[in-house]
């Protein structure tokens, strides 16, 4: 059975591809993917402010809107044929910054206005979310010597339920249904740990195979010497 989160992601990508084509024509190619990425990052600041001022529904709407821009920058890069390693690096770094901004606002919101969320929980969500992305990044780095396809490398080790866009959708649900925010955040921690573990095992398996190949080559070389 196909992963439902990937099905939803693919539908969003198709939509953003159409939007990207329209914007590229409208701005005659002057609108760059980096502009969209930066706008998405800056847009998460008022979302955090909405949480600070106890407006979870407004925050949810802002996160949803500016989160969609995260798919638009990649679609625009493909439309313009400008996909690059630098662009993927910038996109990944800004995604982490956006999470830090949002979780900082969430920490203030839960501390001041929510009684069913323990203080450690937001920290755990933030930490395990970063862990999911960190495992992916280190895995990409470890296997990058054998991969020259930047797009394929960027999609590597993206398995698991708790991808960035899924984390944001789950968080938005928690901000809409605030009575369930505590259980939803606990679910996010569990999904993050499960996803990080799954990616770790996948990367470890691949690296173990590569290590065995290297050891075999070294043994054969020594035997020949």
CA distance 161 to 5: 7
User: Mean pLDDT for the chain?
Assistant: 87
How would residue 191 be classed by pLDDT, with cut points 50, 70 and 90? very high
Share of the chain above pLDDT 70, in %: 88
Handedness of CA 68, 74, 78, 81 (dihedral sign): positive
For 26-73, write each residue's pLDDT tens digit. Answer: 999 999 999 999 999 999 999 999 999 999 999 999 999 998 888 899
CA distance 102 to 126: 9
77 in Cβ contact with 37 (< 8 Å): no
**3-state SS, residue 183:** helix
- Which phi and psi (to 5°) does residue 72 adopt? -75, -35
CA distance 23 to 14: 15
What is the predicted pLDDT for the residue at 149?
Answer: 54
Residues 6 or more apart in contact with residue 74 via CB below 8 angstroms: 13, 16, 33, 83, 91
How would residue 123 be classed by pLDDT, with cut points 50, 70 and 90? very high
For 175-187, write each residue's pLDDT tens digit. Answer: 999 999 999 999 9
CATH class for the region spanning 4-224: mainly alpha
What is the predicted pLDDT for the residue at 218?
Answer: 75
Question: Regarding predicted confidence, which is higher, 33 or 147?
Answer: 33
Give yes or no for residue 137 having a pLDDT over 80. yes
Q: Which of 13-17, 32-36, 214-218 has the highest mean pLDDT?
A: 32-36
54 in Cβ contact with 109 (< 8 Å): yes
Give yes or no for residue 220 having a pLDDT over 60. yes
Write down the pTM of the prediction: 0.85
What is the predicted pLDDT for the residue at 70?
Answer: 84
3 is catalytic: no
CA 52 to chain centre: 23
How would residue 1 be classed by pLDDT, with cut points 50, 70 and 90? low
Which CA distances in Å does 85 have to 26, 40, 180, 215? 26, 19, 39, 31
CA distance 199 to 43: 30
CA distance 44 to 98: 6
172 in Cβ contact with 64 (< 8 Å): yes
Question: Regarding predicted confidence, which is higher, 113 or 1?
Answer: 113
CA distance 102 to 191: 18
Q: Name the one residue in this structure whose structure tokens are 């402010």.
A: 49
Q: Residues 70, 91, 95, 179: which is the catalytic one?
A: 95
């Amino acid at each position: 059975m196909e992963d439902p989160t990937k099905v939803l992601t693919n539908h969003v990508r198709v939509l953003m591809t159409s939007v990207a084509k329209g914007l590229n024509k409208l701005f005659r190619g002057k609108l760059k993917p980096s502009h969209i990425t930066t706008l998405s990052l800056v847009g998460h600041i008022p979302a955090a402010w909405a949480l600070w001022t106890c407006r979870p529904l407004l925050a949810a709407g802002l996160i949803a809107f500016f989160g969609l821009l995260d798919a638009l920058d990649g679609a625009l890069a493909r439309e313009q044929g400008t996909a690059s390693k630098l662009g993927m690096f910038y996109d990944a770094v800004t995604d982490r910054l956006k999470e830090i901004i949002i979780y900082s606002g969430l920490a203030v919101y839960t501390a001041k206005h929510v009684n069913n969320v323990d203080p450690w929980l937001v920290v755990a969500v933030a930490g395990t979310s970063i862990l999911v992305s960190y495992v992916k990044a280190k895995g990409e780095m470890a296997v990058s010597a054998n991969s020259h396809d930047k797009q394929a490398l960027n999609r590597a080790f993206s398995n698991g339920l708790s991808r960035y866009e899924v984390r944001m959708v789950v968080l938005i649900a928690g901000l809409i249904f605030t009575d369930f925010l505590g259980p939803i955040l606990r679910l996010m921690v569990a999904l993050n740990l499960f996803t990080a573990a799954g990616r770790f095992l996948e990367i470890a398996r691949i690296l173990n195979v590569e290590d065995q190949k290297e050891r075999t080559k070294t043994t054969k070389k020594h035997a020949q010497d």
